[in-house]
């Protein structure tokens, strides 16, 4: 039901059988994670991006509650808490997300007592675990009357507001929109200015896309992400430009004034990344994998040199992949600062490429965290449970 290799729903069901066998599940919900194929750090400027939802994500199993409160069991953290928690300040943990949902998505019409069991398969940074967690909970809470009814895009906006105001990361809307509009047939092109979305079906042919972990994790609220946004705001203000005009600027115009100054490099990344997304969408539609791979690699270099959100581990991983015959392209995915990278390769080269990456990260191949990326469907209530 939740896709190959995914144990998240099974873990919630196992907990229910072991600890709450007499309380039968009322419903179950699923929110996928995502990788971003290309187009990073341009969504919050109204750019066009190309994420793909995964067959991995977050499962929420809904049980009848035992008292008038909402209880959430975060099984992967081996932690539980009751809500609402009046007056609890931000603490940098998963409870901030639940409090944010209740604060911005309420007041509840007539909530019934509930216990939610939550588990996911997206740890490590870059697969959008937090948007997946927030949206799976949001849909479950909405159906149970704990949140006001909202359309898909409004639910995405609610989850973004939670991230910005309750958690403290000034993120864009790419992850939330991808999770709401994703497709099991391929990627979804999102115009973050108009919020228009379009499915981009993928013909894999002899290609595979792999997610490989760099070995270092990160938290976005730590500061680097918000700092990049402030730098772009200042760069725009200094030039008298509205921030959402940047992705559409002519790169030639920028290079005329370009020194090696930080703001110019940030702008150069945004403008060039937007061009790569447009070219990448065409390459995907034509299944031109060599062209797509080159764009991925150019995107990584721009994120590394101009936007400075890569890490030595991510760079080593990407370099090792690219120096192995049969790899078309590789890049960090999502915000950067550590976490997962994506690697495009020919099926026959899989072993060779993964072995080279493991060696570059000083890991025995079995210890390498890696999985083949398969597209998965969007946020939904799971049939057959409850």
Residues that bind ligand GLA (CB under 6 A): 36, 40-41, 43-44, 128, 171-172, 174-175, 334-335
Give me the least distance between CB of 36 and ligand GLA, in Å please: 6
Give me the least distance between CB of 13 and ligand GLA, in Å please: 29
309 versus 356: smaller Cβ distance to ligand GLA:
309
Give the DSSP letter string of 228-295: HHHHHHHHHHHHT--GGGGGGS-HHHHHHH--S-HHHHHHHHHHHHHHHHHHHHHHHHTT-HHHHHHH
Give me the least distance between CB of 34 and ligand GLA, in Å please: 8
Asked if residues 63 and 23 have their Cβ atoms less than 8 Å apart, the reply is: yes
Give me the least distance between CB of 79 and ligand GLA, in Å please: 23
To which H or E segment does residue 175 belong?
helix 174-181
303 versus 385: smaller Cβ distance to ligand GLA:
303
57-59-60-61 Cα dihedral, nearest 10 degrees: 180
Give me the least distance between CB of 368 and ligand GLA, in Å please: 23
Give the number of other CB atoms < 10 A from CB of residue 226: 16
Give me the least distance between CB of 49 and ligand GLA, in Å please: 7
Asked if residues 342 and 37 have their Cβ atoms less than 8 Å apart, the reply is: yes
Residue 175 among the catalytic residues: yes
Asked if residues 48 and 278 have their Cβ atoms less than 8 Å apart, the reply is: yes
DSSP state of 23: S
210 versus 340: smaller Cβ distance to ligand GLA:
340
12 versus 36: smaller Cβ distance to ligand GLA:
36
User: 15 by DSSP, 3-state: which?
Assistant: helix
Give the DSSP letter string of 1-14: ---TT--HHHHHHH
Return d(Cα 242, Cα 262) in angstroms, integer: 19
Asked if residues 76 and 16 have their Cβ atoms less than 8 Å apart, the reply is: no
- Catalytic residue among 175, 260, 264, 315, which? 175
11 versus 229: smaller Cβ distance to ligand GLA:
229
Give the residue numbers marked as catalytic: 175
């Amino acid at each position: 039901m939740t896709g190959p290799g995914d144990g998240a729903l099974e873990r919630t069901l196992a907990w229910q059988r072991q600890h709450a066998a007499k309380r039968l599940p009322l419903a179950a919900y699923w929110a996928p994670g995502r990788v971003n194929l290309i187009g990073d750090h341009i969504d919050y400027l109204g750019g066009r991006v190309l994420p793909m939802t995964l067959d991995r994500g977050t499962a929420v199993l809904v049980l009848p509650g035992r008292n008038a409160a909402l209880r959430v069991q975060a099984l992967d953290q081996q932690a539980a808490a009751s809500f609402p928690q009046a007056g609890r300040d931000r603490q940098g943990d998963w409870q901030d997300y639940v409090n944010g949902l209740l604060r911005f998505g309420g007041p509840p019409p007539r909530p019934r007592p509930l216990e939610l069991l939550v588990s996911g398969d997206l740890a490590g940074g870059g697969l959008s675990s937090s948007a997946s967690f927030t949206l799976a909970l949001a849909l479950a809470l909405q159906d149970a009357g704990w949140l006001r009814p909202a359309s898909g895009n409004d639910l995405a906006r609610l989850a973004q507001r939670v991230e910005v105001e309750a958690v403290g990361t000034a993120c864009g809307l790419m992850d939330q929109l991808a999770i709401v509009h994703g497709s099991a047939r391929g990627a979804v092109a999102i115009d973050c200015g108009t919020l228009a979305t379009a499915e981009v079906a993928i013909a894999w042919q002899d290609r595979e896309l792999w997610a490989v972990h760099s070995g270092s994790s990160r938290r976005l609220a730590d500061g680097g992400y918000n700092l990049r946004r402030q730098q772009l705001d200042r760069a725009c203000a200094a030039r008298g430009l509205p921030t959402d005009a940047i992705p559409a600027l002519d790169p030639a115009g920028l290079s005329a004034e370009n020194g090696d100054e930080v703001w110019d490099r940030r702008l150069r990344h945004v403008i060039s990344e937007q061009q790569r997304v447009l070219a990448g969408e065409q390459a995907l539609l034509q299944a031109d994998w060599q062209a797509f791979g080159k764009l991925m690699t150019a995107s990584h270099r721009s994120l590394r040199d101009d936007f400075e959100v890569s890490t030595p581990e991510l760079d080593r991983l990407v370099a090792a992949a690219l120096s192995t015959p049969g790899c078309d392209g590789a890049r960090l995915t999502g915000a950067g600062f550590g976490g997962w990278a994506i690697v495009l390769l020919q099926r026959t080269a899989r072993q060779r490429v993964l072995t080279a990456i493991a060696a570059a990260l000083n890991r025995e191949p079995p210890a390498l965290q890696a999985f083949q990326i398969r597209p998965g469907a969007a946020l939904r209530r799971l049939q057959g449970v409850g």
